[in-house]
Amino acid sequence: MIYGLSRYNKLLCSTNMKLYSILPIVIFAVSACSSDRYAVASDKTVSVFLNETDAGYEGSLNRDQIEPIATLQQGERVLVLKDTYGKDYWACKIRLQNNTIGWALCTNFNFQGSR
């Protein structure tokens, strides 16, 4: 066929458009599944902070050091309520075993299944 699209190409293009229209729904579903799962502290100690940015910039040389509200020992289990990405970090909002809620770097945890 010289002019226009073949039947196969028309089908392929219409399928791609359908995929793009459901992509936001798929992304939302995957992000919703990323919360409410357990994690275990993988480092020797993990600092827990009041907010996301304090956790995200823990140990940064160009910022004032903030005192953590809690410290986890290696192997301690927490519930991950949500996770978020900042400019230079991946932070998790967590619930400790004593029900304290705080923020820590997600890279300090080994993730397990959901509840």
**Dist CA 48 CA 79 (whole Å):** 13
What pLDDT does residue 102 have?
A: 98
**Same domain? 65 vs 78:** yes
40 and 70 in a single domain? The answer is yes
What CATH number has the domain bearing residue 74?
2.30.30.40
SS3 7: helix
- 82 and 106 in a common domain: yes
pLDDT band of 114, cuts 50, 70, 90: low
Domain count within the chain: 2
Q: How high is the pLDDT of residue 72?
A: 96
Query: Which residue range forms the structural domain that includes residue 98?
Result: 36-114
pLDDT of 110 > 70? The answer is: yes
55 and 25 within one domain? no
Scan for tokens 């927490």, then name that residue: 78
> Residue 38 corresponds to which amino acid?
Y
Residues 68 and 48 in one domain: yes
Residues 42 and 27 in one domain: no
